[in-house]
Structure 1
Amino acid sequence: MLPCFVMLDLETTGGSAVRDRITEIAAVRVENGVEVDRWSTLVNPGVSIPSFIQSLTGITDAMVEDAPTFAQVAPRLLELLDGAVFVAHNVGFDHGFVVNELARLEKPLKVERLCTVRLSRKLYPQHKGHGLDAIMQRHGLRTLARHRAMGDVEVVLQWLQLAQAELGTEAVQREAAALLQGGTSVPPQLETPVEDIPDTPGVYLFYGEGRTPLYVGKSVNMRTRVLAHFQSAAKVAREARIAQEIRRIEWHDTAGELGALLLQTRLVKELKPLHNRKSSKKAQVDLVQQTLQGWPHAGRIGIREHHARTGRTDVHVFDQWCHVATVHSAEDLDDVRHSRQALAFDLETYRVLAKRLAALTGRDSTVFPLENAHG
C-alpha cells in the first residue's frame, strides 16, 4: 500500500483524547509490503475503566493493574513509528490519543497519517458503511478478538490484502498516495464531503449525533475555515472534541462577511451550540452602558453586499442599531421599508454593525437610507 507504514489500533477508557486514556496498543510495521515488526501491550491508564468499556473490550481494571504506563511504553511506540506513516481505521481517534499522551510527556509527534476509513470510501464508493464492522460484513472477514487492539489491526490488514487482490495493488497504492498527499486532517467519521462545502461567504454548522449543533461558525471562505478547524484538532482541546464528535456539516450562503456575522449571531442565540464561547451577561451590560452610541442616521438604512462570483446580493436593513431583516429582492425591501415590527436590540449585532459602519469604504458594500422608514 505504502512503502513504509505502521497499522495501529488502541483501546481506551472512553472517546475523548483529551480526557480519557489508553488501555491497550497494537502495532504492525510493514515495509515494502512485508511485515517487519509487530507489538502489542496493555497499558495502565492510571484511572478506572468504565464498566461499559470493560464489557465492550474485555479489558478490566485487574488486567491493567500491573501493566506498564504509557510513559514506559512510549519509547517502543516511537521506535515503531519512526520513518513510517501512521495508519489506523479512524486515524483521527488513535492519532489524537497518542498525541495527547505524548504531550503529557512533552514529546512531540511529527508523522504522516492515513485513514483506512477514508481509503475504503475511495476504493468502494458504492457502499455506504465503512466502519470496521461494515467492512467485515461486506468482505466476510472474521476475528475472535473484535475490540481488542491486535484483533482489529489484523482485520484491517486482511482487508487491505483483499482490496489489493480485488482491485489491484496499483489502484490501492494510488488512492492511498492521493489521500496522503491531500492530508488526513478531516475526521474519518464525517459524513459530509468537505469538497461539497462552498469556498464562499456564509455560516457553517457542525452536528454530532444530536439535534443541537456542536458549533456554529462563519467565514468569507467556508471550506477553508472548516478545514482549519480540523487541522487545529491536534493542538487545541476544543477543536479535538469537535473533531471527535462531528458527524455532518450544514451551511448557509451569504453575499459577504456582514451577512455571515449577522446570521451567525442569530443562530448562536437561537440554537445554543455546545462549543461556542458564551459571553458574560454582566460584561454585556457593562459594555452597553460604557460604549452604546446614539443611532447616527435619520431612519432605517440598508447595507448592500454583493458576491461577484456567485451573483448573490443581500441587503441588510437596520434601525436604531437593530437588525430588522436581510432581503434579496426589491419587493422584499419595499415590504421592510414600510413594516412596523418591534425592534429587538442585541449586543452582538450592535458590535458587528458599529464596527462595519466605522470601517465602511463602499468597496464591498453600500450603505443607503430607506425612505419612509418611520412614515
Structure 2
Amino acid sequence: MYAILDIETTGGQFNEEGITEIAIYKFDGHEIVDQFISLINPEIPIQPFVVKLTGINNEMLRGAPKFFEVAKRIIEMTNDCVLVAHNASFDYRILRTEFRRLGYDFNIKTLCTVELSQRLMPEQPSHSLGKLVRALGIPMADRHRASGDAMATVKLFKMLLDKDLEKTITKELIKFEVIKGVSPKLLDIIESLPSKTGIYYIHREDGNIIFIGQSKNIKKRVNQHFTGITTSSKKIQAEVFTVTFEETGSELIALLKESEEIKKNSPIYNRMARKNTLSWAIYADKDPNGYLNLKLQKADGRKKEITAFANQQEGKSALSRITSSYQLCPKLTGLSTSKTPCAQHENNQCDGACIGQITSEEYNSKVQVFIDKNLFDNKNMIIIDKGRKTGEHSAILIEKGICRGYAFYDLNYQIINPEILKNILVPIPNNRNTRGYIQAYLRKNRVLKIINF
C-alpha cells in the first residue's frame, strides 16, 4: 500500500517551515482507496513568494486546523504504507519536523518519484513534476496546490509502476528513514540556535571546545553535524554537551573570526587550521624584456603576493578572468606556453605584447591597474556590510594595507570617518590569512558598500 503525498509550506529557514496544505491519497497500486486533503494553519506567516506561487495566503489559513489537530489522521493514512512523493526527502523532512515538535518520532519507508522516473525514463530531459506530466500527457489541475500535485504524482506513479514490470527497481529505491533520527539532547541544542549568520563553538561537558565553524545559517549547519554520518560527525554527536554561538551578520566577519578562533583554540575535530588553505598566489615579475609577467605559484612568504587562492585550480580560473578583463597577454600571464603569438592576438584580444608590438611601458601600465586594485599595500578602505539585526551595519577598517578590526554600528549614526570607527573597533590580527580572506571574499561576493579614503 502506498500513501502518495504532497505538502505546501510557508517557505523560510531550513527546519523552520510550517505546513500550509497537505494532500494524501492512499493507493493500492491500482486505484485510490482513501484520501485526506486539508489546509493547515502553520501559526507563522507565509513568505510572499509562496503566496504568489500557490495562491494560499495567511487569511485563508486563519480558520484552518493546526497540525496537532490533523496529526492522528495523517498517521492513520500513512500507517503500514510506503510514503511516495516527488522529491520525497523534502516532504518527509517537513512531516518529521512537525511530528517532532509534538514529541512524536515519525518513521516510515519512502519512495521518491524523481529517482524512480530517472531510472525508468532516463530519456526525459527534465524530471520536475510539471515538465514530466506535460511530456507524458498526464492531465494536471491546481499546479502548486497539494491536491493537484499529489493527484499528478498518483498518475505518474501508476505509469512508472506499469513500466517496472518486475517491480525490482521500485523495491530497490524504497528507503527507510531518509533523514536520520536525532536524539532529544541534540534536538534541544538545535532548537536553541538561531538561523542567522555567525560563528559557533561545539563544547564537551568539561567545557573544552571540540569544533568551531561559521555559517550563514548556524542552526542548519549544526543540524548537519548532528545528522552527519562521517567519522568526525559521529564523534561530535557522541561528545557534544552544548553549542555556543556569536552572531556576526556579515559572512566576512564570521570567516575572519572562525580562522582566528581555530588558531587560538585548536579544536580536535576541525580538519585543518585555516593557515594552510591559501596555498597559491599571484606574483608579478619583470621578464628580460622589461614586461611585467603575472605568475601563479605556490605561496612563498618571502615574496610580495598580489592575491592568494585556496588551490591551484581556483588561481588558474581567476588568472584567466584577469587576463581577459585587463586585456593582458596569456603568454605573459602563464596561461599559454606557445612559442608563436598567442591565439588571443590573432583574435585581436591581445595587443601584441608577446611579440613586442606594444612597449613594455604600455603593457605594464595595464598590469599595474590590476596590481593597484588588488594589492593591499597602502590601501585605505572601510568595508560596509550587513549587521546582526535590522537597523545595524558592520564595518571592517583597512588602513595602509593593515586590517585594524571590525565594528557594528547603528544606522542612525553613519560612520564614514575612520578616526570615529577606531573608537569602537574589535581588533583582528593582521596577517596573510586575514588579507587573503578579505581579498577572496571581495572577489566572489558583493558587500553593501566600500568607502575608500
TM-score by length of 2: 0.42
Partner of 1:130: 127
| Partners of 1:17 and 1:96 within 8 A in 2 | no
Matching residue within 137, 152, 174 for 1:155 = 152
Amino acid at match of 1:76: R
Counterpart residue number, 1:177? 171
1:97 is matched with: 94
Which of 7, 14, 21 pairs up with 2:4? 7
The answer (yes or no) to whether the contact 2:110–2:176 under 8 Å persists in 1 is: no
Report the AA paired with residue 180 of structure 1.
I
Preserved contact between residue 5 and residue 87 of structure 1 (Cα < 8 Å): yes
Counterparts of 2:279 and 2:142, CA distance in 1: 59
Q: Write the mapping of 1:334-353 to structure 2, written as runs, cut at 5 A.
A: 341=303
Alignment partners' CA distance in 1, 2:4 and 2:264: 55
Deviations 1:328-356 (A, max 9, x none): xxxxxxx98x9964698669xxxxxxxxx
AA partner of residue 170 (structure 2)? A
CA distance in 1, matches of 2:36, 2:83: 15
Q: CA deviation at 1:280?
A: 4.4
Query: Which residue is 1:27 aligned to?
Result: 24
1:78/1:39 Cα in 2 relative to 1: closer, same or farther (>3 Å)?
Answer: same
SS in 2 for 1:48: coil
Q: Residue 2 of structure 2: SS of its match in structure 1?
A: strand
What SS is found at the alignment partner of 1:40? strand
Distance in 2 (CA, whole Å) between partners of 1:129 and 1:273 is: 35
Counterpart amino acid of residue 238 in structure 1: R
The 1-side partners of 2:276 and 2:304 are apart by 10
Contact kept? 1:44, 1:68, Cα under 8 Å = yes
1:238: which partner in 2? 221
Cα deviation digits, residues 104-134 of structure 1 (max 9, x gap): 1111011111111111101111123101111
Residue pairs, 1:301-340, within 5 angstroms: none
Superposed displacement of residue 144, structure 1: 2.2
Task: Name the TM-score, length of structure 1 as normaliser.
Answer: 0.51
Residue 114, structure 1, aligned to residue 111, structure 2:
yes
Per the alignment, in what secondary structure is the counterpart of residue 106 of structure 2?
Answer: coil
Distance in 1 between the 2:96 and 2:174 partners? 19
Confirm whether residue 144 of structure 1 aligns to residue 141 of structure 2. yes
Distance 2:220 2:278 in 1: 37
Once the two structures are superposed, residues 148-183 of structure 1 have per-residue CA deviations (whole angstroms, 9 ceiling, x without a partner) of 111111101111223344x2x525x22111111698
Residues 23, 147 of structure 2: 8 Å contact kept: yes
Do the aligned partners of 1:89 and 1:117 also contact (CA within 8 Å) in 2? yes
Q: Which residue type is aligned with residue 24 of structure 2?
A: A
1:17-56 correspondence to structure 2 within 5 Å: 17-31=14-28, 33-56=30-53
Counterpart-to-counterpart distance in 2, 1:44 and 1:339: 60
- Pairwise CA distance, 1:323: 8.2
- Tell whether the 8 Å contact from 1:16 to 1:241 is kept in structure 2 after alignment: no
CA drift at 1:52: 2.6
Question: What percentage of residue pairs aligned between the two structures are identical?
Answer: 28
Change (3 A) 1:46 1:174: same
Q: Residue 81 in 1 paired to residue 64 in 2?
A: no
Measure the CA separation in 2 of the matches of 1:103 and 1:322.
41
Distance 2:10 2:27 in 1: 28
Output the CA distance in 1 between the equivalents of 2:75 and 2:257: 42
The runs of 5 or more residues in structure 1 that have no matched partner are 187-235, 243-271, 289-320, 327-334, 348-375
Relative to structure 1, the CA distance from residue 127 to residue 273 in structure 2 (aligned partners, 3 Å threshold; closer, same or farther) is farther
Which residue number corresponds to residue 63 of structure 2?
A: 66
C-alpha spacing 1:279/1:61, structure 2 compared with 1 (3 Å): same
| Gap change, CA 1:126 and 1:281, over 3 Å in 2 | closer
Q: Do structure 1's residue 57 and structure 2's residue 51 form an aligned pair?
A: no
Between structure 1 and structure 2, the one with the greater Rg is 2
Q: Residue 114 of structure 2 contacts residue 127 of structure 2 at CA under 8 Å; is this kept in 1?
A: yes
Gaps of 5+ in 2: 181-218, 226-249, 267-274, 281-296, 306-430, 435-453
Does structure 2 conserve the Cα–Cα contact (< 8 Å) formed by 1:96 and 1:240?
no
* CA apart distance, 1:273: 8.9
Whole-angstrom CA distance in 1 between matches of 2:76 and 2:55: 28
In the other structure, the counterpart of 1:264 is: none
The one-letter amino acid paired with 1:170 is L
Find the aligned partners of 2:103 and 2:146 in 1 and give their Cα distance.
Answer: 25
The structural deviation recorded for 1:79 is: 1.4
- Bigger relative contact order (CA 8 A; separation at least 6): 1
Query: Is the 1:17–1:240 Cα contact (8 Å) retained in structure 2?
Result: no
Query: How many Å separate the matches in 2 of 1:324 and 1:32?
Result: 56
Q: Cα–Cα, structure 1 residues 240 and 57, in superposed 2: closer, same or farther, change >3 Å?
A: farther
1:50 and 1:92 map into 2 onto residues whose CA distance is 21
Tell me if structure 1 keeps the 8 A contact 2:93–2:179.
Answer: no
Distance 1:339 1:124, change over 3 A: same
In structure 2, the CA distance between the partners of 1:340 and 1:58, relative to structure 1 (3 Å rule), is: closer
Residue pairs, 1:193-342, within 5 angstroms: 237-238=220-221, 279-280=257-258, 283=261, 286=264, 341=303
- Name whichever of 177-186 and 13-22 sits farther off: 177-186
Q: CA RMSD in A?
A: 3.8
- Distance verdict in 2 for CA 1:16–1:115, change over 3 Å: farther
Whether the 8 Å CA contact 2:12–2:47 is kept in 1: the answer is no
| Amino acid in structure 2 at the alignment position of 1:175 | I
Matched AA of 1:73: V
